[in-house]
Amino acid sequence: MSALPLFRAESLTKRFGGFFALDGVDFNVSAGERVGLIGPNGSGKSTLVGCASGALRNDAGAVWFKDQRIDRLSPHQRVRAGLVRSFQLPRPFRGLTVVENLRVPLFFAGRQGREEDAIDEALEFVGLTARRKAMPQDLTQVDLRKLDLARATVAKPLLLFVDEAMAGLSHSEIDEILAVLMRMNDGGVAIVMIEHIMRAVTAFSQRLVVLVAGRKLADGDPDQVLANVEVQRAYLGE
């Protein structure tokens, strides 16, 4: 790899009391790449997303994004730089309609003007156009996930962390969300998918990273990583 990666975490460390949630993890993402991030519960996946997005402060190490060191920036500053996340559970603004929900990133993330067209495009993109005036409480689970992704789309990210966007969805709904993520990636957005649903992860990822107990156990081609004996023992069971 000749060019510098889009996103770079160097020996990222995060402690909660005496517990090392992340212990010297190196994690890179190139522009336009699709990365799957897997690991057993409590392995540090969400902590990594937290440190990358600014919800958590890392205790040691550094985070770089587009040649800029970002690990002391607040979350909204990282969003404006083009690093966006979605949440494990959908977090819509419940007092606002679908369209108004999208107006928030349009106004505040403000990376490419404030043209309302961006909202229509994002709704079209995720397939929520028919529900534009609905309140979040009237949306189904899968539509709420789509709203989360539409909100991220409006912010025009270069890199998107998708934290378990498919948990609890049906087989066909998972395919819908996967299709949206693939389309976003086609548009040039690098995506890191944190997911337990292996079918989705393997279908999606160009590269697979495995975290176990706050350390990186494997990083590389999905087939090779999943064939790794240590990974199988730690993650998929003996």
Contacts with other proteins by CB under 8 A lie at: 53-55, 74-76, 79-80, 84-85, 87, 91-97, 99-100, 103-105, 107-110, 116, 119, 132-133, 151, 155
Burial tier of 53 (Cβ tally within 10 Å: 0-12, 13-18, 19+):
buried
**Which lies closer to other proteins via its Cβ, residue 155 or residue 218?**
155
In residues, how long is the chain?
238
**Which lies closer to other proteins via its Cβ, residue 62 or residue 96?**
96
The neighbour count for residue 206, using CB atoms within 10 Å, is 14
**Which lies closer to other proteins via its Cβ, residue 56 or residue 177?**
56
CB 155 within 8 A of CB 105: yes
Q: How far is the CB of 149 from other proteins (least distance, A)?
A: 12
The token pair at 149 is 């992704």
* β-bridge mates for residue 25, sequence order: 12
Q: How far is the CB of 82 from other proteins (least distance, A)?
A: 11
What are the angstrom distances between the C-alpha of 96 and each of 7, 111, 162, 168? Answer: 33, 22, 23, 25
β-pairing, 60-65 with 7-16?
antiparallel
For the chain, what is the radius of gyration of the CA atoms?
17
**Which lies closer to other proteins via its Cβ, residue 55 or residue 182?**
55
What are the angstrom distances between the C-alpha of 130 and each of 125, 127, 137, 172? Answer: 12, 8, 15, 19
**Which lies closer to other proteins via its Cβ, residue 58 or residue 205?**
58
**Which lies closer to other proteins via its Cβ, residue 16 or residue 108?**
108
Q: How far is the CB of 106 from other proteins (least distance, A)?
A: 9
Q: Interior CA angle at 48 toward 10 and 164, to 5°? A: 145
